[in-house]
Amino acid sequence: MQFSRLRSRIIRRIFNFPLETSLLKYMQHINKSFQIFTLVFLIALASVFVAYAHTESSEPLNVVASNPPPNILTSATEISLAAQNIIPFTWKEQGVSISFPSGWELVYEKPTGFSWNTFFGRDKAQPADALWLSGIVTIGNKTGTFEGMSFKDALDYEYAENVKEQREGKFTEVNWLTIDGVKGMFIRDEKSKDSRDLQHLKWKCYRIYKGEHQILEFSAYTSSKAFDRNADETKKLLVSLKFAS
Protein backbone atom coordinates (compact mmCIF):
# COMPACT_ATOMS: atom_id res chain seq x y z
CA MET A 1 0.00 0.00 0.00
CA GLN A 2 2.75 2.39 0.88
CA PHE A 3 4.59 1.30 -2.21
CA SER A 4 1.59 2.14 -4.36
CA ARG A 5 1.30 5.62 -2.86
CA LEU A 6 4.98 6.20 -3.37
CA ARG A 7 4.74 5.05 -6.93
CA SER A 8 1.84 7.39 -7.57
CA ARG A 9 3.71 10.34 -6.11
CA ILE A 10 6.75 9.55 -8.21
CA ILE A 11 4.66 9.28 -11.36
CA ARG A 12 2.97 12.64 -10.67
CA ARG A 13 6.33 14.28 -10.13
CA ILE A 14 7.81 12.75 -13.24
CA PHE A 15 4.91 13.29 -15.60
CA ASN A 16 2.72 16.09 -14.30
CA PHE A 17 4.96 18.69 -12.78
CA PRO A 18 7.76 18.67 -15.38
CA LEU A 19 5.17 18.60 -18.16
CA GLU A 20 3.37 21.67 -16.85
CA THR A 21 6.64 23.50 -16.31
CA SER A 22 7.96 22.60 -19.77
CA LEU A 23 4.70 23.60 -21.44
CA LEU A 24 4.68 26.96 -19.67
CA LYS A 25 8.24 27.67 -20.72
CA TYR A 26 7.42 26.57 -24.27
CA MET A 27 4.42 28.90 -24.46
CA GLN A 28 6.49 31.76 -23.12
CA HIS A 29 9.09 31.07 -25.80
CA ILE A 30 6.44 31.06 -28.56
CA ASN A 31 4.90 34.28 -27.24
CA LYS A 32 8.27 35.99 -27.23
CA SER A 33 9.05 34.75 -30.75
CA PHE A 34 5.66 35.95 -31.96
CA GLN A 35 6.27 39.39 -30.46
CA ILE A 36 9.66 39.60 -32.20
CA PHE A 37 8.12 38.46 -35.51
CA THR A 38 5.29 41.00 -35.19
CA LEU A 39 7.75 43.81 -34.48
CA VAL A 40 9.91 42.90 -37.52
CA PHE A 41 6.81 42.68 -39.71
CA LEU A 42 5.54 46.11 -38.60
CA ILE A 43 8.96 47.68 -39.22
CA ALA A 44 9.08 46.19 -42.73
CA LEU A 45 5.51 47.33 -43.43
CA ALA A 46 6.32 50.85 -42.25
CA SER A 47 9.33 50.97 -44.58
CA VAL A 48 7.20 49.95 -47.56
CA PHE A 49 4.55 52.55 -46.67
CA VAL A 50 7.13 55.34 -46.38
CA ALA A 51 8.66 54.45 -49.76
CA TYR A 52 5.21 54.34 -51.40
CA ALA A 53 4.17 57.63 -49.80
CA HIS A 54 7.35 59.30 -51.09
CA THR A 55 6.66 58.09 -54.64
CA GLU A 56 3.03 59.19 -54.54
CA SER A 57 3.85 62.61 -53.10
CA SER A 58 6.35 63.44 -55.87
CA GLU A 59 4.70 62.20 -59.07
CA PRO A 60 1.28 63.89 -58.80
CA LEU A 61 2.98 67.25 -58.21
CA ASN A 62 4.62 66.96 -61.62
CA VAL A 63 1.32 65.96 -63.21
CA VAL A 64 -0.49 68.93 -61.71
CA ALA A 65 2.27 71.31 -62.74
CA SER A 66 2.36 70.11 -66.36
CA ASN A 67 -1.38 69.62 -66.82
CA PRO A 68 -3.26 72.34 -64.91
CA PRO A 69 -7.05 72.11 -65.07
CA PRO A 70 -8.66 74.44 -67.60
CA ASN A 71 -10.02 77.70 -66.23
CA ILE A 72 -12.96 78.82 -68.39
CA LEU A 73 -13.44 82.27 -66.89
CA THR A 74 -10.00 83.68 -66.15
CA SER A 75 -10.33 87.42 -66.75
CA ALA A 76 -12.54 90.04 -65.16
CA THR A 77 -13.91 90.88 -68.63
CA GLU A 78 -15.04 87.30 -69.30
CA ILE A 79 -16.65 87.05 -65.87
CA SER A 80 -18.51 90.31 -66.53
CA LEU A 81 -19.69 89.08 -69.95
CA ALA A 82 -20.97 85.85 -68.43
CA ALA A 83 -22.91 87.81 -65.81
CA GLN A 84 -24.52 89.88 -68.57
CA ASN A 85 -25.43 86.78 -70.64
CA ILE A 86 -23.06 87.88 -73.39
CA ILE A 87 -21.37 85.23 -75.53
CA PRO A 88 -17.75 86.04 -76.44
CA PHE A 89 -16.52 84.64 -79.77
CA THR A 90 -13.05 84.66 -81.31
CA TRP A 91 -12.38 83.88 -84.96
CA LYS A 92 -9.11 82.22 -84.01
CA GLU A 93 -7.44 81.96 -87.41
CA GLN A 94 -7.92 85.68 -88.08
CA GLY A 95 -7.59 87.12 -84.59
CA VAL A 96 -11.04 88.75 -84.67
CA SER A 97 -13.39 88.74 -81.68
CA ILE A 98 -16.97 89.84 -81.13
CA SER A 99 -19.47 89.51 -78.29
CA PHE A 100 -22.98 88.27 -79.07
CA PRO A 101 -26.07 88.78 -76.91
CA SER A 102 -27.74 85.77 -75.35
CA GLY A 103 -29.80 83.83 -77.87
CA TRP A 104 -27.25 83.81 -80.69
CA GLU A 105 -25.82 80.51 -81.94
CA LEU A 106 -22.67 79.64 -83.86
CA VAL A 107 -23.53 78.12 -87.26
CA TYR A 108 -19.99 77.43 -88.45
CA GLU A 109 -16.40 78.58 -88.11
CA LYS A 110 -13.49 77.90 -90.46
CA PRO A 111 -10.24 79.72 -91.38
CA THR A 112 -11.91 81.69 -94.19
CA GLY A 113 -15.19 82.57 -92.49
CA PHE A 114 -17.77 82.22 -89.73
CA SER A 115 -21.50 82.65 -89.27
CA TRP A 116 -23.85 83.21 -86.33
CA ASN A 117 -27.62 83.61 -86.20
CA THR A 118 -30.54 84.21 -83.87
CA PHE A 119 -34.26 83.60 -84.15
CA PHE A 120 -35.08 85.86 -81.19
CA GLY A 121 -36.81 82.94 -79.49
CA ARG A 122 -39.17 82.50 -82.42
CA ASP A 123 -39.91 79.37 -84.42
CA LYS A 124 -36.79 78.26 -86.30
CA ALA A 125 -39.04 76.97 -89.06
CA GLN A 126 -39.59 80.62 -90.04
CA PRO A 127 -36.19 81.65 -91.52
CA ALA A 128 -37.49 85.10 -92.41
CA ASP A 129 -37.41 85.95 -88.70
CA ALA A 130 -33.73 85.05 -88.33
CA LEU A 131 -30.89 87.55 -88.12
CA TRP A 132 -27.51 86.46 -89.44
CA LEU A 133 -24.02 87.82 -88.97
CA SER A 134 -21.08 86.47 -90.93
CA GLY A 135 -17.46 87.30 -91.60
CA ILE A 136 -15.31 86.20 -94.52
CA VAL A 137 -11.85 86.76 -95.95
CA THR A 138 -12.73 87.90 -99.47
CA ILE A 139 -9.10 87.89 -100.54
CA GLY A 140 -5.72 87.53 -98.93
CA ASN A 141 -2.08 87.14 -100.01
CA LYS A 142 1.46 88.22 -99.19
CA THR A 143 1.68 90.95 -101.85
CA GLY A 144 -1.52 92.91 -101.19
CA THR A 145 -2.25 93.18 -104.91
CA PHE A 146 -4.60 91.48 -107.33
CA GLU A 147 -4.39 91.84 -111.11
CA GLY A 148 -2.11 94.83 -110.79
CA MET A 149 -4.24 96.72 -108.24
CA SER A 150 -3.48 96.97 -104.53
CA PHE A 151 -6.12 95.85 -102.06
CA LYS A 152 -6.29 99.34 -100.59
CA ASP A 153 -6.86 100.95 -103.98
CA ALA A 154 -9.49 98.33 -104.80
CA LEU A 155 -11.38 99.17 -101.61
CA ASP A 156 -11.18 102.91 -102.38
CA TYR A 157 -12.54 102.24 -105.87
CA GLU A 158 -15.42 100.12 -104.49
CA TYR A 159 -16.27 102.90 -102.05
CA ALA A 160 -16.51 105.45 -104.86
CA GLU A 161 -18.78 103.12 -106.85
CA ASN A 162 -21.05 102.52 -103.85
CA VAL A 163 -21.41 106.27 -103.31
CA LYS A 164 -22.69 106.52 -106.90
CA GLU A 165 -25.14 103.67 -106.30
CA GLN A 166 -26.34 105.37 -103.12
CA ARG A 167 -27.46 108.31 -105.26
CA GLU A 168 -29.35 105.82 -107.41
CA GLY A 169 -31.22 104.48 -104.38
CA LYS A 170 -29.45 101.16 -103.83
CA PHE A 171 -28.01 102.15 -100.44
CA THR A 172 -29.25 104.44 -97.71
CA GLU A 173 -25.80 104.83 -96.13
CA VAL A 174 -22.24 104.64 -97.46
CA ASN A 175 -19.35 105.97 -95.39
CA TRP A 176 -15.97 105.22 -93.90
CA LEU A 177 -16.15 103.77 -90.40
CA THR A 178 -13.15 102.97 -88.19
CA ILE A 179 -13.64 100.03 -85.81
CA ASP A 180 -10.99 99.20 -83.21
CA GLY A 181 -8.40 101.17 -85.15
CA VAL A 182 -9.18 99.53 -88.51
CA LYS A 183 -10.63 101.71 -91.27
CA GLY A 184 -13.41 100.19 -93.31
CA MET A 185 -16.36 100.93 -95.59
CA PHE A 186 -19.84 100.74 -94.06
CA ILE A 187 -22.93 100.37 -96.23
CA ARG A 188 -26.62 99.94 -95.47
CA ASP A 189 -29.09 98.57 -98.02
CA GLU A 190 -32.12 100.50 -99.16
CA LYS A 191 -35.37 98.96 -97.97
CA SER A 192 -36.74 96.44 -100.43
CA LYS A 193 -40.30 96.55 -101.66
CA ASP A 194 -40.52 92.78 -101.25
CA SER A 195 -40.65 91.91 -97.55
CA ARG A 196 -39.07 88.52 -98.32
CA ASP A 197 -35.86 90.03 -99.76
CA LEU A 198 -32.75 90.13 -97.61
CA GLN A 199 -31.31 93.46 -96.52
CA HIS A 200 -27.74 93.92 -95.35
CA LEU A 201 -25.50 95.98 -93.16
CA LYS A 202 -21.92 95.50 -94.37
CA TRP A 203 -18.53 96.60 -93.22
CA LYS A 204 -15.49 95.85 -95.38
CA CYS A 205 -11.91 96.62 -94.43
CA TYR A 206 -8.31 96.22 -95.52
CA ARG A 207 -5.66 95.15 -93.03
CA ILE A 208 -2.36 93.27 -92.65
CA TYR A 209 -2.38 90.36 -90.20
CA LYS A 210 0.60 88.08 -89.56
CA GLY A 211 2.26 89.24 -92.76
CA GLU A 212 -0.82 88.66 -94.93
CA HIS A 213 -2.72 91.45 -96.71
CA GLN A 214 -6.46 90.91 -96.40
CA ILE A 215 -9.85 92.25 -97.35
CA LEU A 216 -12.34 91.23 -94.65
CA GLU A 217 -16.10 91.61 -95.00
CA PHE A 218 -18.61 91.42 -92.16
CA SER A 219 -22.27 91.27 -93.08
CA ALA A 220 -25.47 91.27 -90.99
CA TYR A 221 -28.70 90.53 -92.79
CA THR A 222 -32.33 89.60 -92.31
CA SER A 223 -35.61 89.87 -94.18
CA SER A 224 -36.82 93.27 -95.31
CA LYS A 225 -39.79 93.11 -92.93
CA ALA A 226 -37.49 92.54 -89.93
CA PHE A 227 -34.62 94.76 -91.07
CA ASP A 228 -35.67 98.11 -89.60
CA ARG A 229 -36.35 96.85 -86.10
CA ASN A 230 -32.93 95.17 -85.94
CA ALA A 231 -30.70 97.56 -87.91
CA ASP A 232 -29.50 99.79 -85.06
CA GLU A 233 -28.71 96.92 -82.70
CA THR A 234 -26.96 95.05 -85.50
CA LYS A 235 -24.76 98.05 -86.28
CA LYS A 236 -23.76 98.19 -82.60
CA LEU A 237 -22.82 94.52 -82.89
CA LEU A 238 -20.58 95.21 -85.88
CA VAL A 239 -18.95 98.17 -84.11
CA SER A 240 -18.03 95.85 -81.20
CA LEU A 241 -15.53 93.96 -83.41
CA LYS A 242 -12.01 93.67 -81.98
CA PHE A 243 -8.86 92.97 -83.99
CA ALA A 244 -5.60 91.39 -82.84
CA SER A 245 -2.54 93.26 -84.02
- Per-domain residue ranges for the chain? 1-69, 85-243
Q: Tell me the per-residue pLDDT of 182-227, one tens digit each, with 9 for 90 and over.
A: 999 999 999 888 877 889 999 999 999 999 999 999 999 988 888 8
For domain 85-243, give the CATH number.
Answer: 3.40.1000.10
The pLDDT assigned to 197 comes to 85
Q: Tell me the per-residue pLDDT of 5-58, one tens digit each, with 9 for 90 and over.
A: 544 454 444 344 343 334 334 444 444 444 444 444 444 444 443 343 333 433
Sheet holding 86-91, edge to edge: 86-91, 96-101, 242-243
pTM of the model: 0.64
Question: 109 pLDDT exceeds 70?
Answer: yes
Contact between 80 and 62 (Cβ < 8 Å): no
